[in-house]
Structure 1
Amino acid sequence: MKKSLFALMLLSLSIISACSDEEEKPNVPNKPQEEEQQSHENQQESSKSNKENTVASITQAGALKNVKDQLNTDLPITLPKGLPITEGTLLTATTKAEANEVEIVFFESKEYLPINDIKLKQPDRATVIARLLVKQYENADEASEQIAFENFSQKGGQEVDLGSNIKGYQDAGAGSLWTGWNEGRWAVATHTRTDNPEAGVKLAKQAVQFLESHMLPIPKQHGSAQLDVYESGNLIVWQEDKLVYTLDSIKDPLKALEIATAFYH
């Protein structure tokens, strides 16, 4: 009987001691659990930061800033404020810079491709929007010689009403028909074939209407634009002192004008 009573007392003391230890021990997660939780929080923060950086870099403003950063040139180049791209696509580009010349090819892509990404060489990954070439000449006079500026009212030709109180002048030769007019320091002309004369006038009227609400960059001293009905020879060139800007590789003639007007600041 005494042995049983003694065993019962020992058991009671053990239970009381265990309960006391449990109360005194702080409720602290073990170390592996702490590290796992901290790692998860860091991953979430990193993911959030990366997402914000990606969003910033795929906007047009971000892409154009990246183009500027990649150029690594001392030439005082002006870039467009934005470019007309297809809905659902992103703006990107390739850049090439030499001592007195810079080339930028703008692309649109359905996926995010950084500036100068090697995938831009694959035609199925991105589509060319336009090519911009900026070249610096020895002096302003030499730069001016690169501009095919004409005063069409002095040159003469068959007059045509283009609307907005603007007269165009038509000149035909070698199967081509040009309709030219002047807008300030700019000489603008549309090209069609002689067997499709109305197409040239129609495009000229569309261009005049577009330029009623959009401004071409102010050249120093002149600029010229050739707009092609058949989307094969659109060319826009203007001078800024010793610099000459050339826009080409643009299929749609009205889009070529839209891109040029994006350089107006």
Structure 2
Amino acid sequence: MKPAPFAYHRPTSVAEAVARLAEYDGAARVLAGGQSLVPMLNMRLWRPAALVDINELDELDDVRLDGHRITLGALVRYAALERSPLVAERLPLLARMVGHIGDRQVRNRGTVGGALAQADPTGELALACLVMGAVVTATGPGGTRRIPLSELYAGSYASTLEPDELLTAVEIPPQSRHVAFREVCRKHNDFAVLSVATTGDRDADGRWHDVRIGLGGVADTPVLAGAAAAAVTGTALDDADLEAAAAAALEVVDPPTDVRASAEYRRHLVPVHVRRALAELRAAPSR
């Protein structure tokens, strides 16, 4: 199939892009990498009145250090994250996870902003940004606002962005030194059945602090397993601590049943892979 007819705009500034979105009163869509949008158009599952192509907005296409924070422009491609020395040095979790996103073709075109605005509950980038405590910036007719990643999603494939707002950047604070990531897929580079991402720091006496555990694919949005993280904070991540965290992680899950897996199977996987991710974190060498 081919898309239904639509108007096409290619703005050269953020202000112009926002003005174009506002013209269509919620009936326009932003085109960045197009990895999700174009298939939906071709299947006519989405029939927007217009596309606003932001690929000319070079101001949104950089990875930079702002004080102690890393800022990722909305047009930064996954492939650029893979190659970035700054990401490798400062954002070890993102560096670890980005290679699990799609395949090489997807990573060459897919963008940071497009992935976060898509609000896919299985998306690796959304999970990474949640665990890292990221904040997105969005610009609309009324100005720019900052939205913590934990407040960006209203549900599965539903963000809290207004129809005339453009996600422009992601700000990420300093990160813990140690990370672990596990993902279950039916086949390589498929959509995730379940993802577990965890970060933390280890004191000289072997005790762990600032532990964060995030889960993808087990609810309408990626979620933080706060009780599970609390169960291991201040511990040496002994086997008993891992068991306690694995059990506590089930408190935040409400998994769906879909073509990839049943809710029962996803619920079974959660404690298994939380335990394994924490064991991987425990085994991480000092940095």
Q: Do Structure 1 and Structure 2 share a fold, with TM-score over 0.5?
A: no
Using the size of structure 1 for normalisation, the TM-score is 0.27
Larger Rg: 1
Using the size of structure 2 for normalisation, the TM-score is 0.25
